[in-house]
Structure 1
Amino acid sequence: MSSILLLTASPRPSSFSTQIAFELADRLRAANPTSLLVHRDLATNPLPHIDGGFTAGIHKPNEALNAAEAAAIRLSDELVAEILGADTLVIGTAFINFNITSNLKSWIDYIGRAGKTFQYTASGPEGLVKDRKAYIVLASGGIYSEGPAAALDHATPYLKSVLAFIGITDVEVIRVEGVNRGPDGAANAVTAARAQIARIAA
């Protein structure tokens, strides 16, 4: 059975990135009704930031872990299992201070595991999460896809780099941008994002 992993990370109650990410996931499920949807809400249920328990635990065998290390590794293993079990990844995030939300960064810290999602080889690192499609739904108040502010978009290249490192190179970005640009900004941004989703679904 195919599986869609949906990650939502915006702290805003009425989040455009969450709204559009859900709409995309629903359209993808409609195209494949038997697919399983796994939703992890990183805003409502934020992950703890990695700490010494995690950084020590990843280098120890299970039988040598103390309680704090074991808890951190169990959480990491759960998150790794979710992404390894998914055929499609949908990430919905707000654009905060030119980058992703901190709760999404914590998720990345937990799933970036040598021997789990990537491995080191004689020719360099190799991603182990291959043959998957990823969609990034990025909502921003301004326009960052082009123009003078484009250089300030650190979210898109960062996410693409992280995903490529673990093996996901087929990535499409859906922007919900310019939502703070006048009374019609949000409406126009959502309309453009929905048009892109329609093309994806088709």
Structure 2
Amino acid sequence: MNILHIDCSPRPVSHSRRLSAEIMEKVLALAPAANIVRRDLGAEPLPHLTSDYAAALASPAALMAAASSNAMDLSEALIREVEAADIIVLGTPMNNFTIPSVLKAWIDQLLRVGRTIMPTPQGKVGMLRDRPVLIGISSGGVFAGEKANQPDFLTPYLSAAFACVGLMALQFLPVQATAFLNETQLASARQAALATLDLTMIGEDR
């Protein structure tokens, strides 16, 4: 089994990092021999789209012309990491109601017409094989449930973006109100989130 483990927080110790690490522990308990590929977007942010990459995506002709250049190299490397993974574990904070910019930069490289997305008259169709994507979210406020008091643009955006490339088996594990919880309450909140994790699709033979 191959696992792609992604973190997005700029802080070396953060709620989302701790949550994603605990998700990894659950996965590795079932697949201890798994190969792990680490992508730390918080510690090593990806560059935002370059002019060469943007120009290559401007039209089908430009895309074909760019095939012989290095404009797509980073995108291709990131896509291949996803293609090689049987499971993706993603830890991210909610920043201003949505994903952090470092995660958006990664997604911008992943969503590529003709490579991971096939346009059709009925809409975009994902070209990647589906696989579990386990998403640990930390939020200083409350964005879901009866006590929600702020908008949530993170989960619908990630659902749409991942579905666009064919990744449909998403599980969201939120830990909310981190700004107001003590360590004991945070540990309980993480355990409550982890209790919703469905690991029935995970096995050594993936």
Query: What TM-score, normalized by structure 2, do the two folds share?
Result: 0.85
Aligned to 2:67: 62
Aligned to 1:12: 11
Q: Report the 3-state secondary structure (helix = DSSP H, G, I; strand = E; otherwise coil) of the residue aligned with 1:152.
A: coil
The alpha-carbon deviation at position 34 of structure 1 amounts to 3.0
For residues 66 and 143 of structure 2, the distance between their equivalents in structure 1, rounded to whole angstroms, comes to 45
* Residue 128, structure 1, aligned to residue 133, structure 2: no
What amino acid is the match of 2:123?
Answer: G
1:138-195 per-position Cα deviation (integer Å, ceiling 9, x unaligned): 1001221123636601101100111111111111111111211243542332232243
Aligned to 1:187: 187
For residues 122 and 142 of structure 1, the distance between their equivalents in structure 2, rounded to whole angstroms, comes to 40
Query: What TM-score, normalized by structure 1, do the two folds share?
Result: 0.87
Question: Which ranges of structure 2 fall in alignment gaps of 5 or more residues?
Answer: 58-62
Question: Which ranges of structure 1 fall in alignment gaps of 5 or more residues?
Answer: none
Counting aligned pairs with the same residue, the percent is 34
Greater shift in the superposed pair: 15-24 or 38-47: 15-24
Aligned to 1:149: 148
Greater shift in the superposed pair: 79-88 or 149-158: 149-158
For residues 194 and 149 of structure 1, the distance between their equivalents in structure 2, rounded to whole angstroms, comes to 20
Q: Report the 3-state secondary structure (helix = DSSP H, G, I; strand = E; otherwise coil) of the residue aligned with 2:133.
A: strand
CA contact (8 A) 1:99 1:153 kept: yes
Q: Report the 3-state secondary structure (helix = DSSP H, G, I; strand = E; otherwise coil) of the residue aligned with 1:142.
A: coil
What amino acid is the match of 2:153?
Answer: H
For residues 52 and 124 of structure 1, the distance between their equivalents in structure 2, rounded to whole angstroms, comes to 27
Aligned to 1:84: 83
1:63-121 per-position Cα deviation (integer Å, ceiling 9, x unaligned): 3x3xxxx2x41111100100111111111100110001100000000010112211123
Aligned to 1:48: 47
For residues 33 and 132 of structure 1, the distance between their equivalents in structure 2, rounded to whole angstroms, comes to 19
CA contact (8 A) 1:178 1:185 kept: no
For residues 81 and 182 of structure 1, the distance between their equivalents in structure 2, rounded to whole angstroms, comes to 39
What amino acid is the match of 1:189?
Answer: A
CA contact (8 A) 1:178 1:189 kept: no
For residues 191 and 176 of structure 1, the distance between their equivalents in structure 2, rounded to whole angstroms, comes to 9
For residues 124 and 153 of structure 1, the distance between their equivalents in structure 2, rounded to whole angstroms, comes to 25
What amino acid is the match of 2:47?
Answer: P
Aligned length: 194
Q: Report the 3-state secondary structure (helix = DSSP H, G, I; strand = E; otherwise coil) of the residue aligned with 1:169.
A: coil
| Paired residues for 1:23-42 under 5 Å | 23-42=22-41
